[in-house]
Amino acid sequence: MRLDKFVAASSGLSRKQATLEVRRGNVQIDGVRCKRTATQLSDAQQNGGVTLNSAALFTAKPLYLMLHKPKGYVCANTDADHPTVFDLLNERDFHPSLQGQLQVAGRLDIDTTGLVLITSDGNWNHAVTSPNKKRGKCYQVTTANPIADDAIALFEQGLDLRGDSKPTKPAKLTITGSHCAELEITEGRYHQVKRMFAAIGNKVVELHRASVAGITLDDSLGLCEYRILTPEEVNGF
Ligand code: URA
């Protein structure tokens, strides 16, 4: 990798600021000042061999997090009216170069609670969320009206949602109480769970996501808390 690109990627500076730092002589490679921005770095040099103002630089590893989302937060990078899930993350927990690189893998509505996956790895995000991969997402649903037993077959057959050209893919509904159910879906359509219940004449009043692609929200995480995914969770599907 080029020196200026590496300095930017590992420090959180913009490419322009990184270039200035190199040209000013603030960057050393293996203890020797280098002002040539196009210098190509070896793997070893990218692993602690470059310093900026005497501090060794390292590139960030991709980041994978699970967050217990509360109500009132939107899954967007910025929002004029509401706080975003990124406001719940503490910048000090991350490599500076990851600022602005984090993305949500599968959004939740503002009034939905539960598991939100956040990553800097776009390929992983795609693998988790692509509808073609048919990764299950499990929701706990509370409804305004009682859930009739025939809802199980209707969800299994697929429902026509208003405005959509195709019926929903088979979904597994497990009724857990008169107004409560668990639902596993493999698609990620807009407001899908709420619209599926609306399609059978019911209304979702509480919605919580328990798992995505086999990754289950950790019981020990309170609302607003997050943790780094284990390697097994990252690679487990
Ligand atoms: N389906 C919904 O209707 N809302 C969500 O937040 C997630 C799935």
- Is the beta carbon of 159 within 6 A of some atom in ligand 1? no
User: In testing the pocket of ligand 1, which one of 108, 129, 205, 217 has its CB within 8 Å of the most ligand atoms?
Assistant: 108
Query: 47 is written with which tokens?
Result: 């692993």
Active site residue 109: yes
CA distance 8 to 193: 42
Once rounded to an integer, what is the mean pLDDT over residues 42-68? 92
Residue 46's beta-bridge partner residues?
A: none
- Is the beta carbon of 10 within 6 A of some atom in ligand 1? no
CB 217 within 8 A of CB 66: yes
Please tell me the least confidently modeled range out of 33-47, 123-137, 149-163, 212-226: 123-137
Contacts with 237 (C-beta within 8 Å, 6 or more apart), sequence order: 127, 128, 135, 213, 214
Q: What is the pLDDT of residues 122-141, one digit of tens each?
A: 999 999 988 776 789 999 99
Query: 209 is written with which tokens?
Result: 């996501």
**pTM score, whole prediction:** 0.85
**Residue 162 phi, psi dihedral angles, 5° rounding:** -55, 130
